[in-house]
Structure 1
């Protein structure tokens, strides 16, 4: 290692070092030979005497597909990207030292909130690490975690890292085959499951997992005792005789430019890909994002989105750890109705929700307003008076008071905010799918602006961010400090592919060199596949997606998402719609209606949702089922859809962008049905709710080929 370690450097000495080929890295007193900057990456550990020591891990490339590989960090000489890299466990140790007696987590059990301090949290992760080692976890192998968010999920995650393995989240509703793929691909030695329902999935595939050594169930008692199957209590005790020095040595050997965790993509165009994130990817981005958004100590969040994805891990696990916050775990039925109850109890200071969640919160607020005269009259006056001006101020990102009277603000707005548990929320955030502009305007008018963020699993989390003092409606914000964003091959309007650069860009896809090279160009830029542009103030707007462009027979390029979103906004009974027209003479549309979802199978039912039934009743229709609408071609519903489509067509920029035919399908799109999947390259998690997911367009074209061909018959 060619390094020079010192605490102070004079300008003369620094100049001499530069002439000899040395480089000074960042604001700290540390230098390293230029060759090392180009061909090595390193972690940094601060010594007690103030001297900074560099521990290098050999790395010749910005990417790797090897589980035990290392990458060259994208560090810079000065600025945010020059921050010394640290491992996640080092960040955790700093948190324990700074916030040891503060609550790190809280979960409600037997009607009471049970809290865990940072000191207790660390000790439990340490015990889990020893138990993983006792059960045979090998270095750079996976620990699969299958279940709803809980303290045990966090402890298994961090414990796996401490023991030298990788935490690998598996989505709750994954089939046995999906679990098999992830567990096998990640070479998971141990699988941690929530309950017997999840355990059964693993037992069906156990014999096909050559690396599997043990299974741990973290909720409820085991229904049947089996070899290598443990309860959580048994698991936490089993490693007690493992020497602490073994865990110490593993932690000391970890480098910030090595893999820390894996997150699996949805596999919309093939097998799921394991996104490898380094320690530095996580710790550096958390720090930068926290600074940009004004994170304070002791902030509070609610964990309810699937932890198998990068976003909830970023916001629920790593961000609080960096800033000494507390994560409250929602109930397992949060997405079925209990989330608002938890929010009202916890009153978070920050809250991240996908668009569908904000739509549900909006519905709750509308119900409150309509049923309370105390709220209804002032809000009505507000909507017809001060409201529009306030909306405009929020569109422009200003922070002017939306109400003319502080008394009205405190008595009415605070009451509304409290009704959904957001009365002390400093940052309401969203991502993962386009959110309707009127939803953004609605919350802005109520002084609860929703801030859009944008990022990929491959960018370790958010790459652009909106903050309360600097945002624009429909924009996903500005680039996080130290990160880089460029528009590749922009057209005359400034639209082009969005590309990412910086220390948040992932290491590579596990064992998939070809896919990694497709994502990263020769200069290390990550190509997102999303189309966007910057405005004059540096705000980024997403305007489409490369693979979703429809090219008609006449050669016109048409982005389908804006048209689909406009129709859903115009006709609220529509759940999903997909524009058809690639290589066709005109555009058509497949439409599905909002229906209830079976909570067990997640399959769509025939019954319309209460929202959809209300829409029907407002039109004078008595339909309550999808089949009733489709079989009778309910004239009132069909007329409403056509009128909505007429309004969308009226806004079309050309005749080629007008939809000429459409059909209502007999059932909604779902992931289980093969029509929906997680948005590729998004940081936000999958939810079993159509509007928050990406259409698997090639699959839908194949599945509904006969229906589509009927639309194009002369």
Structure 2
């Protein structure tokens, strides 16, 4: 078994020069400690022989980029139907202005600045400005309820909350009395509809600190150390209440440099990368990719419209033609469904041509795994005649790198995009590892692996079973400081030597590629004592049954396995709530069976005979490949409504929140197990 492992006990105490200079007020934890639960404490940096780079603060990283890329464009925002761009030097100056205004509003050292809203230049200015001013920045998911916003703002001791608009402001005003640390609210988009104390428009906020001197700000910046906390990422709460993941300056700056090298990101003085920012910046994947990596390498960030995920993203992609693009699996799935729908509406000859070209591309890409592998002439023909045009329609005519992260992506989706000659490079990691710890890329690609360990990072596999599968553990400069105010949870996450336990099961092949096989906490242990990983079975059902949107396996401490199913349906374009109407793909599935149904209720309430029979046959096919009788699905039920973020079954990054589903559909589940 090939994996890297180092005896951590022999690591020399590192980073002392960055610790001994700290003011006494920030030295609450011992300087030789790898972790802390206190936002004001410092930790020992994990500097190794194979990773000796000098630690940097966020400001030092930004200042170095301004010196290299100062006159190049950094951010682009669309206003009055026109793209307005600012340079890295202007970007840096706006962040300093925001920092001075935070100081003026009384931002305390190591207290929070919470940002609630869709991606924008103001979001970036607030994030970097908060760190420059000595605070800790944290994003709040724009879909959060008022109570969820209150939890994050209170837990992070937020002195200032930056909101996008009136809708987000209303959430904060509802819970304002439960926010004892709150001093001010800043609204960065739209007009203020009310005048209340300590509420500022963006323009007024940016003018607040004009009388704060450069020297005062510089003194705060110079007092910052690379082993202090500057960012809080709140987990989405899929297994309990959200935890505040404390990331140090070194976590951010080192990861922005090294993970992007693994992804073959180019520095702007070689070739400037461009991307569209639209995924929630409160999540580590988007924040590292959009914000910090772009500062590190001089990338140009275009901000999508707030309704990007409701359909406008593709218009922005067509206008911008980015060089790289990242999506969570559900984004890629939605794109796949839309393309499939458009292909189905084509004329006979065009449909035949597209189907042929995609089949040729899929076969060529599966045979030629590495970037430099020579592909056959037939592929070149299919690509030039058909596939280039299809990619251009998606806005990917200039895109060289495509990434998927935040959750495992299905084989069907990966293969579909290979048919378009689009390789989805998977990144695997956690908030606690500052994002990617393993990455696929142009030179590290093998299906269905999620790549190799990021250079400078290490891993080990523990509790390995007979098939070579065990729990994946992480080590490196990207490993978090600890969970805010959660000492016990931090100790559970890190072993005695400081290795981060991922909770994920996986195995490594002889070439060092990682394959994720499941999650320990998601393992179903049946009443008979058999361990069943649910995800492979759920994925198999969705692959067999294209009408199925979500599948969740049930059976922990039960006599047999059962499954909850939801059907693919259309979403309300305003609320993104799932509707009654089946998607075109689902309707087509029904048509092929001889069913004329178009609504979920027609199937569920009418017990549509053809559809139910087809689903049973699909599950029978999945059961036929089960490794044991205990891993067969004995019963299933179709729910009346698809899972959604607004319904609570999915987290902000579209991960299934199993405890929520178990509680919400408790009666349905119990019904499956009644004799």
Question: TM-score, normalised to structure 2's length?
Answer: 0.93
User: How far 1:468 moved relative to its partner?
Assistant: 1.5
Which one of 7, 32, 44 corresponds to residue 60 of structure 1?
32
Q: What is the CA–CA distance in structure 2 between the aligned matches of 1:221 and 1:354, rounded to whole Å?
A: 33
For each residue in 1:545-566, what CA deviation from the matched residue of structure 2 results, as whole angstroms up to 9, or x when unmatched? 1111112222211111111111
Task: Name the count of aligned residue pairs.
Answer: 656
**2:476 matches 1:476:** no
Q: What is the CA–CA distance in structure 2 between the aligned matches of 1:704 and 1:368, rounded to whole Å?
A: 35
- Report the secondary structure of 1:637's partner residue: helix
Q: Partner of 1:196 in structure 2?
A: 166
Which structure is higher in RCO with an 8 Å CA cutoff and minimum separation 6?
A: 2
User: Against the structure 1 CA distance between its residues 159 and 293, is the aligned structure 2 distance closer, same or farther, given a 3 Å change threshold?
Assistant: same
Q: Partner of 1:641 in structure 2?
A: 615
- Report the secondary structure of 1:529's partner residue: strand
Q: CA RMSD in A?
A: 2.3
User: How far 1:168 moved relative to its partner?
Assistant: 1.0
- Report the secondary structure of 2:403's partner residue: strand
Which one of 28, 46, 51 corresponds to residue 74 of structure 1?
46
Which one of 659, 663, 669 corresponds to residue 702 of structure 1?
663
User: How far 1:201 moved relative to its partner?
Assistant: 0.7
Which one of 215, 221, 224 corresponds to residue 245 of structure 1?
215
Q: Partner of 1:625 in structure 2?
A: 599
User: How far 1:484 moved relative to its partner?
Assistant: 0.7
User: How far 1:403 moved relative to its partner?
Assistant: 4.6
- Report the secondary structure of 1:82's partner residue: coil
Q: Partner of 2:143 in structure 1?
A: 173
Contact 2:14 2:45 in 1 (8 A): no
**2:398 matches 1:424:** yes
Q: Partner of 1:499 in structure 2?
A: 473
Q: Partner of 1:104 in structure 2?
A: 74
What 5-or-longer segments of structure 2 have no aligned partner?
1-8
Which one of 475, 496, 506 corresponds to residue 522 of structure 1?
496
- Please list, as runs of the form range in 1=range in 2, the aligned pairs for 1:429-444 lying within 5 A after superposition: 429-444=403-418
Contact 1:394 1:444 in 2 (8 A): no
Which one of 300, 306, 309 corresponds to residue 326 of structure 1?
300
- Please list, as runs of the form range in 1=range in 2, the aligned pairs for 1:30-179 lying within 5 A after superposition: 37-38=12-13, 40-43=15-18, 59-76=31-48, 78-79=49-50, 81-179=51-149
User: How far 1:269 moved relative to its partner?
Assistant: 3.5
For each residue in 1:520-560, what CA deviation from the matched residue of structure 2 results, as whole angstroms up to 9, or x when unmatched? 11110101111000011100000011111112222211111
User: Against the structure 1 CA distance between its residues 599 and 365, is the aligned structure 2 distance closer, same or farther, given a 3 Å change threshold?
Assistant: closer
User: How far 1:111 moved relative to its partner?
Assistant: 0.5
Q: Partner of 1:455 in structure 2?
A: 429
User: How far 1:408 moved relative to its partner?
Assistant: 4.7
Q: What is the CA–CA distance in structure 1 between the aligned matches of 2:385 and 2:668, rounded to whole Å?
A: 54
Q: What is the CA–CA distance in structure 1 between the aligned matches of 2:17 and 2:310, rounded to whole Å?
A: 45
User: Against the structure 1 CA distance between its residues 543 and 500, is the aligned structure 2 distance closer, same or farther, given a 3 Å change threshold?
Assistant: same
User: How far 1:252 moved relative to its partner?
Assistant: 0.6
For each residue in 1:608-658, what CA deviation from the matched residue of structure 2 results, as whole angstroms up to 9, or x when unmatched? 333323332333323222222111101121112111111111111122211
Q: Based on CA coordinates, which of the two structures has the bigger radius of gyration? A: 1
User: Against the structure 1 CA distance between its residues 407 and 495, is the aligned structure 2 distance closer, same or farther, given a 3 Å change threshold?
Assistant: closer
Of 615-624 and 416-425, deviating more is 615-624
User: How far 1:515 moved relative to its partner?
Assistant: 0.6
User: How far 1:359 moved relative to its partner?
Assistant: 2.0
Q: Partner of 1:584 in structure 2?
A: 558
**2:335 matches 1:335:** no
Which one of 507, 526, 548 corresponds to residue 574 of structure 1?
548
- Report the secondary structure of 1:294's partner residue: coil
Q: Partner of 1:272 in structure 2?
A: 242
Contact 2:357 2:382 in 1 (8 A): no
Contact 1:375 1:412 in 2 (8 A): no
Contact 1:453 1:465 in 2 (8 A): yes
What 5-or-longer segments of structure 1 have no aligned partner?
1-33, 45-53, 678-685
